[in-house]
Amino acid sequence: MTGTGWLPVALPVALLAVPLLGALGLVVLPHVLRPVLRAYGLVLSGVTLALAALLVATFDYERPASPQFELDVPWIPGLGLRLHLGIDGISLPLVALTALLTFLCFGYLSWGRARAGEFLRARPRALVFTLLVLEVGMIGTFLALDLLLFFVFFEIVLVPMYFLIGIWGGEGRRAASIKFILYTLLGSVVMLLGLLLIWAQTGTFDIEALAAAHGSGMARSVQILAFVAIGIGLAVKTPMWPLHTWLPDAHTEAPTTGSVLLAGVLLKMGTYGFARIAIPVLPEGALAVAPWLGALAVVGIVYGSLACLAQRDLKRMIAYSSVGHMGFVLLGFATLTPTGINGALFANVAHGLITGLLFFLAGAIKDRYHTADMTALGGGLLATLPRLGSVLTFAAVASLGLPGLAGFWGEMLALLGAFRPADGLPRGLFLTYMVIGGLGAVLTAAYFLVMLSRVTHGRPPPLPAEAEAEAVAEPRVVESLAARPVATLAHRDVRPYELLAWTPLVALILLFGLWPGLLLSLTTPAVHTLLGALP
Amino acid sequence: MTTFPLMAVLLPFVAAFAGLLLSRRPHRPPPASSGARAADRQAGTRAAWIAIIPTAVSAALAAWLAWDRGFAFLNNTGSGAPTGHTYGTIITGGIPISLTLQADNLSALLGVLVTLVALAVQVYSVGYLADDPRYPSYSAFISLFTSAMLLVVYAGDLLVLYVGWEIMGLCSYLLIGHWWEDRGNSRAAVKAFLVTRLGDVGFLFGIFVLGSAAGSFRVADVLAKVPEMSQATLVTATLLLLAGVAGKSAQVPLHTWLPDAMAGPTPISALIHAATMVAAGIFIVARLFPAFLAAPPTMDVLAVLAAVGMLGAALAALAQDDLKRVLAYSTVSQLAYMAGGLAAGSDTAAIFHLVTHGAFKALLFLCAGVVIHHVGSNLMTRMGGLRRELPITFTTMTIGLAALMGIPPASGFFSKDAVIAAMDDAVTAGTLTDAAALLLYGCALATVAVTGAYATRAWLRTFFGRARAVPVPLPEPPPGTAHVVDVTEAPRTMLVPVVLLAVPALLLGLAGGLHMEVGVAAVGVVLALLGAGAVYAFWRMDPLADPARLLGPLRAPCEQAFYVDRGYAALFVRPVLALARLVVRTDDTVVDGAVRGSGRTVRGLAGVLRLAQNGNVQLYVSGLLAGVLLIAVGAVVFT
């Protein structure tokens, strides 16, 4: 245990305990909490965010490579399960990102719908409960330093997300949620087998010890087998081509907050697993599988981009764009170089911020137009809703990887890593990956610009109310009067609560884009440590 | 003074954000129904100040940086240590990125060009877009554009340079698409971004090759390591860099975005064509010139591309009816001159031409803006006889066209002479292969004649002959054309920059030192006058008809710019879109189909299993016993 005083130990526990106790409170005291439900979730996630901020503030930046705020106590001795939590330079940004996005989601829900009088229309208590449990799982995944504990948290996340999509989702929510949970559960089972294989070989679940051992004690074939098994589980979550098909459906049907958390945090858990477990614990396995991983990654980049190019639904397009962006992240990991993995971790965080913002925006558009179909939207968003259009332009430009915004550095470093992959990897192959990835970046720009051109440019179509009035041969006065206020309300520009939810994301995208050193100085030492055993 | 480069970059950058966020604050609700327009105007005024003052200060800083150095780069006098500072490094796990901003002889010279043209464009835009409600965002984007170009110019690290390089692409997208109501403008903006980005990917990889060969991304370190690098590395790196250069500087084969970029407001064309964006490509070759010199195959490629580009674009310019497209193709052609000068081994001649071209092309575009503003159309068939109505514009545009043709004593004469002299030398000596050098020299001379022809044609059709202008219905012009004002000459904010730019366009040539080769210069002037004379003769025959008819059967291909756009659409755009649709279909039927199929299979299997769950207790017990038996046998066998 490092440091003195109670703070180092209490912080990670509190990060988990606050949302967990909050969720329990909803079960124990439903009637007391019902009137203050709106503030309740906001306050709890706010406290969690404050704790995360405290974590960021008290983190020892001199040694980001070693886990800090460690807690290591036996939990279920019979299973060898220990409550081993800790934070290093890799997990710190992700924990902060999770706390921030959850808080923004609560803010979006509580402030926004309150004004319109439709706060959390259906089952508000269940929604707050679901989101809090989700937060426990997400933060726990990033804190866990024990394989089994990691798996437990990894699985906890699935259930609330399933309900989030299945209850509060769109038209086809049932099929989408079932597909989501079956797909990811199946992946998790394979991953569990891989984790158990590691345990069977080394006799420990402790990630720290396993990472320090750098795979000693495991034969190469075992490592490869374990890497493939764990990799499949993580790849489903990431998602990696061709295991991605749950994602578009889940994203399209999920409510805005679900999409934001799904893209912003859940996908990161998959890639985080590569950096935390698969690569440091199984270095030889990683070396053997990396060319395949890289190949699937670049296929994902190009495939995702092409799929986006022909997509008509805005949310679906953003979902497919995640496949492409996660391809860059996986390519970075596949290079097994400090540069590439740094890039992967950076792109991870950047994608969380940018795609989170994009889904917020897509949700805002869907709220107003009741559709996310680009042809139905008809264009001219910059004329009808100039601010929303501007923020959408910003987010799209950030997502296509413009330097000076967060999206660029991760992808650039991933490509740079592929230019000179780790010794022992076929260089020519990775050069090919780099070129394909670069072309994928052009395609990424293409689909985002085409989307912007379709949605924000051009002349706006007539308002629905007017169109209706024109369509009816004998317009009845009462109807058109009734329809008009709805239309004008629906077409209001960015509202204050939306601005509050989006501004932090915009600011962070700019900050990390202009000063990438902030994140890179945090991850670089940790990356060097985790790659210790590789040649 | 070491912080001047940083400040020069940061000021317009901050101004861009301030202009976007603060122009409409404090947000006062409009008092009456007519108040929206008043609020727009107030925001516009505020945005104009926010835009102009930082640019002016940046220009002063750039001028200060260039004061001692003067034209040292052109005269090859004094190496002069760069003025600047390193503001820390960003660790990447591999080669670090160093945040260096500095001004050496080359940067200092170009910094002045960039800031002065940007300042002229900002001032001019105040008048040009006086009634545009979106003026605040427009001026903010120009500020960002200026900042990005200054970052390219002053960067001491290749990746920092790349940041500015790409942000320029974004700014060009935003500004070309300024009138986005028109789908055509939107398409042009997307095209500009995508074509340049395609080149930029190559550029980034070129930086990777150079950087990893030198172990550093710092320009100084890279250049110091050039002698140690292998030929293969250098050729690969420079060819990849050339892709980016072709994209940004609109060289064949990535030139197609520039003529379409005319969809933007005219001042933007001036900015893109003169000081930013297209200048960046030539600049980067000059910046890394030792690396290019050490890679002769790259220079041959550059020479051939330049030769093809300069003549083709000049011929295309001769056939265009849109005044701005004439100037656009002229830019492609003139940039090819600079590229040719670089290929011929003279970076000073190329940069000299870049500077004078910056002055006279900015002047030409701003003049064209005045003309378009006056007539309400881009088409030369709608112009004519304007020299009486627009006397000041007529004078300044004449200076600009004279400089473009290379008529002494205008600036273009001297710089073009320097470039052609360099090409002349390259035929006999230098690194170019003979064929490439001869092709380059021949095309350059032919282009001089064609340049004389298209410049004369534009001049005659715009300012002479009978007035053909049809009054445009005021007050609502269609988007895509400037707002028409009913006065004889343009407002003062537009005329002052025009007149001020005419001075360097006329005199800048004298700055480079008067070491010209009389023979080459004489040939150049005679050729230009020949071209001009031919057009004049055709025009005299029938002043109402287009002198472009002298092209004969070549006219249609020239007007279509040799069908390159159609070829690209057929070769790249449509296949990619088809592929995209294919992917969507595949994703639905094959990849997801496999998932759904396995789901059905599982359900089917479950149906089979369900047969076992038939409620027959005897069956259950038999099953149980069978299981126990299996386990027991297994235990015996395997232990």
Q: Is the pLDDT of residue A353 over 50?
A: yes
Strand partners, B90: B97
Nearest CA in chain A to B181: A458
Q: Which of B197, B199, B133 is nearest to B170 (CA)?
A: B197
Q: Stretch B485-511: mean pLDDT, rounded?
A: 78
Q: Does B579 contact A at CB distance below 8 Å?
A: yes
> Are B543 and B576 members of one domain?
no
Chain B residues in contact with A313 by the CB 8 A cut-off are none
- Write the pLDDT tens digit of every residue in B159-215: 999 999 999 999 999 999 888 888 888 999 999 999 999 999 999 999 999 999 999
> Are B446 and B494 members of one domain?
yes
Q: Is the pLDDT of residue B484 over 80?
A: no
- Write the pLDDT tens digit of every residue in A142-151: 999 988 889 9
Which of A174, A245, A390, A433 is the mutation pick for testing B, counting most B CBs within 10 A? A245
**Distance between CA A409 and CA A412 in Å, rounded?**
5
**Distance between CA B382 and CA B390 in Å, rounded?**
15
User: B480: buried, middle or exposed (CB in 10 Å: 19+, 13-18, 0-12)?
Assistant: middle
- Number of domains chain B is built from: 2
Residue B263 lies in a domain: no
Chain B residues in contact with A398 by the CB 8 A cut-off are none
Q: Does B584 contact A at CB distance below 8 Å?
A: yes
- Asked if B299 and B440 touch (Cβ cutoff 8 Å), the reply is no
> How far lies B199's CA from each of B242, B319, B328, B372, in Å?
8, 28, 19, 32
Q: Enter the ipTM.
A: 0.89
Nearest CA in chain B to A345: B92
Residue B513 lies in a domain: yes
- Asked if B324 and B378 touch (Cβ cutoff 8 Å), the reply is yes
> Are B504 and B455 members of one domain?
yes
* Residue B594 backbone class (left: φ over 0; alpha: ψ -120 to 50; beta: rest): alpha
- Domain limits at B600? 569-638
Q: Is the pLDDT of residue B545 over 90?
A: no
Q: Tell me the two tokens of residue B208.
A: 């990777």
Confidence of residue B74 (pLDDT cuts 50, 70, 90): confident
- Write the pLDDT tens digit of every residue in B463-481: 887 766 555 444 444 555 5
- Write the pLDDT tens digit of every residue in A214-245: 878 888 899 999 999 999 999 998 888 888 88
B536 sits in which H/E element: helix B518-541
> Are B372 and B515 members of one domain?
yes
Q: Stretch A503-508: mean pLDDT, rounded?
A: 93
CA A347 to chain centre: 11
Q: Is the pLDDT of residue B582 over 80?
A: yes
> Are B397 and B442 members of one domain?
yes
**Distance between CA B16 and CA B147 in Å, rounded?**
9
Where do the structural domains in chain A lie, given as residue ranges? 7-461+493-530
Four-point Cα dihedral B245, B248, B252, B258, nearest 10: -170
Q: Is the pLDDT of residue B273 over 50?
A: yes
Phi and psi torsions of B102, nearest 5°:
-150, 160
What is the percent of chain B where pLDDT is above 70?
Answer: 92
What sign results for the dihedral spanned by CA atoms A431, A433, A439, A440?
negative
Nearest CA in chain B to A311: B584
DSSP-assigned letters across all residues of A248-287: HHHHHHS-HHHHHHIIIIIHHHHHHHIIIIIHHH-HHHHH
Residue B262 lies in a domain: no
Q: Tell me the two tokens of residue A167.
A: 């209850």
The reply to whether residue B584 touches residue A402, judged by beta carbons under 8 angstroms, is no
**Distance between CA B63 and CA B9 in Å, rounded?**
13
**Distance between CA A81 and CA B197 in Å, rounded?**
51
> Are B538 and B397 members of one domain?
yes
Which of B208, B240, B591 is the mutation pick for testing A, counting most A CBs within 10 A? B208
Kindly report which listed range (A54-63, A398-407, B333-342, B592-601) carries the lowest average pLDDT score. B592-601
Nearest CA in chain B to A403: B163
Predicted confidence at residue A476, as pLDDT, reads 40
User: B514: buried, middle or exposed (CB in 10 Å: 19+, 13-18, 0-12)?
Assistant: exposed
What is the percent of chain A where pLDDT is above 90?
Answer: 34
The reply to whether residue B205 touches residue A438, judged by beta carbons under 8 angstroms, is yes
> Are B547 and B593 members of one domain?
no
Q: Tell me the two tokens of residue A180.
A: 């989501």
Residue B577 lies in a domain: yes
> Are B435 and B463 members of one domain?
yes
DSSP B613: -
Q: Is the pLDDT of residue A478 over 50?
A: no
Q: Does A431 contact B at CB distance below 8 Å?
A: no
Q: Does B205 contact A at CB distance below 8 Å?
A: yes
Chain A residues in contact with B189 by the CB 8 A cut-off are 449, 453
In the block, residue with structure tokens 């990917």? B201
Predicted confidence at residue A113, as pLDDT, reads 52
Those residues whose C-beta lies under 8 Å from the C-beta of residue B407, and which sit 6 or more positions away, are B413, B525, B528, B529
Q: Stretch A310-319: mean pLDDT, rounded?
A: 89
Q: Which of B468, B456, B467 is nearest to B538 (CA)?
A: B456
Domain boundary residue, one of B522, B554, B586 = B554
Chain A residues in contact with B159 by the CB 8 A cut-off are 412
Higher pLDDT, A374 or A394: A394
Window B:277-316, CB contacts with A under 8 Å: none
Residue B614 lies in a domain: yes
- Write the pLDDT tens digit of every residue in A40-67: 888 899 999 999 999 888 888 888 888 8
> How far lies A365's CA from each of A106, A262, A321, A375, A387, in Å?
19, 19, 18, 13, 12
Domain boundary residue, one of B554, B583, B599 = B554
Q: Tell me the two tokens of residue B289.
A: 């010139």
Predicted confidence at residue A121, as pLDDT, reads 61
**Distance between CA B137 and CA A381 in Å, rounded?**
16
Predicted confidence at residue B488, as pLDDT, reads 62
Residue B223 lies in a domain: no
> Are B506 and B412 members of one domain?
yes
Q: Is the pLDDT of residue A349 over 90?
A: yes
Contacts within 8 Å (CB) and 24+ apart, A273-276: A273/A150, A273/A154, A273/A191, A273/A230, A273/A233, A273/A234, A273/A237, A274/A231, A274/A234, A274/A330, A274/A333, A274/A344, A275/A90, A275/A333, A275/A341, A275/A344, A275/A345, A275/A527, A275/A530, A276/A90, A276/A91, A276/A150, A276/A207
Predicted confidence at residue A124, as pLDDT, reads 80
Q: In B289-431, where do the E strands start and end?
A: none
The reply to whether residue A419 touches residue B212, judged by beta carbons under 8 angstroms, is yes
**Distance between CA B349 and CA B341 in Å, rounded?**
6
Q: Does B166 contact A at CB distance below 8 Å?
A: yes
> Are B380 and B460 members of one domain?
yes
> Are B547 and B611 members of one domain?
no
> pTM of the prediction?
0.89
Confidence of residue A474 (pLDDT cuts 50, 70, 90): very low
B469 sits in which H/E element: none
Which of B90, B151, B572 is the mutation pick for testing A, counting most A CBs within 10 A? B90
> Are B465 and B368 members of one domain?
yes
Kindly report which listed range (A83-87, A377-381, A514-518, B124-128) carries the lowest average pLDDT score. A377-381
The reply to whether residue A517 touches residue B90, judged by beta carbons under 8 angstroms, is yes
The reply to whether residue A306 touches residue B576, judged by beta carbons under 8 angstroms, is yes
**Distance between CA B565 and CA B573 in Å, rounded?**
10
Predicted confidence at residue B482, as pLDDT, reads 54
CA B626 to chain centre: 79
Predicted confidence at residue A482, as pLDDT, reads 40
